[in-house]
Structure 1
Amino acid sequence: MDDIEAIKQLKARYFRFLDTKDWDGYRAVFTEDVLVDVTGSGGGVFRGLDLYMDYVLADVAPLKTVHHGHMPEITVTSATTATGIWSMEDWVVSPDGTEMNAQGHYFETYEKADGRWRIKEMYLTRLRLQRAGQTVWMSSSAERSRAQR
């Protein structure tokens, strides 16, 4: 399998493990020193897999989620590094029944070690967020996209 296809499958596992709450599988898609920045969607910045997983298990695990990733733009930058941008949509239902639907982008870097690709940096951004009947248009995806050119 070529590297781009392997990265596509990595991201597919990311979405599936997140939505099915397979936390061991989810953890395995990241490097130990991962940097996750979800400030563009209202969250924080997490350096290191343990810190990020603490956040996921506390704040994301109780939610019902459906994530979709589309139209990957993947660039292999060396034998062991790559970058990617994914258009995304997610549906999230809180324990109290509040629903959220949003669209945006993931901006990522990948690292290959021991023959396996993993996510090294992940920035989740939003263009649109709809919650409780209100729609908010956000700029975090547009700002990061312009910066990536």
Structure 2
Amino acid sequence: MEITAAGTLEERVAALEAVEQIKTLKYRYLRACDRKDADAFRGCFVAEGASMDYGPTGSFDDRDALTAVFRNVGLAQDDGGRYVVLDMHHAMHPVIELLGPGRAKGAWTLRFRQVDRVAGTEAVSAIEYDDRYEIEDGRWLIRSSQVTVLWRIARPLPEGVTFQGRFA
């Protein structure tokens, strides 16, 4: 369903509201990743039947399997209790299309930066998301996500690099 002048004012407003709710969902998901909030992360996906293909990270057939990987990788800590992996997600250029009542698809561009303290590397990637969304229990959630890595560079962290902030 496109947002056009052909629909009634109520239909057009409802479509705009749906698009904004989907954008907010995606931002909530990305913030959960960066803030290492596994419960908020899990809450972004449909309860059953979610499918996620994260390319090199793997494919998962439900939100619990995906959340388990997030906990094992994204929340891993070193012997000093510091997070091993630090992520920064910057999503942009959303193209959201409403497909019908309670269904939508979206395409996003992601600029992703990741520091791996164990490997001593920093990586920067250009990534594309192809998502499907649906309403479950009155709110938009992610049904599926397909990730395509367009390019990635990795480089060693400079000698003597220090970290500051909440996850230092």
TM over 0.5: yes
Q: d(CA) in 2 for partners of 1:16 and 1:7?
A: 14
Percent identical residues? 30
One-letter code of the match for 1:125?
A: T
One-letter code of the match for 1:113?
A: E
Shift >6 Å, 4+ stretches:
none
Structure whose CA Rg is larger: 2
Query: 1:132, CA displacement in angstroms?
Result: 2.0
- Superposed CA deviations along residues 37-82 of structure 1, whole A, max 9, x for unmatched, are 012xx12110011111111111222310000100101001011100
One-letter code of the match for 1:38?
A: Y
One-letter code of the match for 1:98?
A: T
The answer to whether 1:34 aligns with 2:36 is no
What secondary structure sits across from 2:117 in the alignment? coil
* Residue segments in structure 1 that go unaligned for 5+ positions in a row: 134-149
The answer to whether 1:45 aligns with 2:67 is no
Query: 1:119, CA displacement in angstroms?
Result: 0.3
Work out the number of aligned pairs and report it.
131
TM-score where L is the length of structure 1:
0.83
TM-score where L is the length of structure 2:
0.74
The answer to whether 1:129 aligns with 2:152 is yes
Instruction: Report 1:108-127 matches (<5 A).
Output: 108-127=131-150
Q: d(CA) in 1 for partners of 2:75 and 2:144?
A: 21
Among candidates 81, 84, 95, match of residue 117 of structure 2:
95
What secondary structure sits across from 2:101 in the alignment? coil
Query: 1:30, CA displacement in angstroms?
Result: 0.5
* Residue segments in structure 2 that go unaligned for 5+ positions in a row: 1-15, 77-84, 157-168
Q: d(CA) in 1 for partners of 2:131 and 2:86?
A: 24
Match of 2:40 in 1: 25
Q: d(CA) in 2 for partners of 1:4 and 1:17?
A: 20
Two-structure CA RMSD over aligned residues (Å)? 1.3
Contact 2:46–2:136, Cα closer than 8 Å, also in 1: no
Query: 1:22, CA displacement in angstroms?
Result: 1.1
Instruction: Report 1:39-78 matches (<5 A).
Output: 39=55, 42-62=56-76, 63-78=85-100
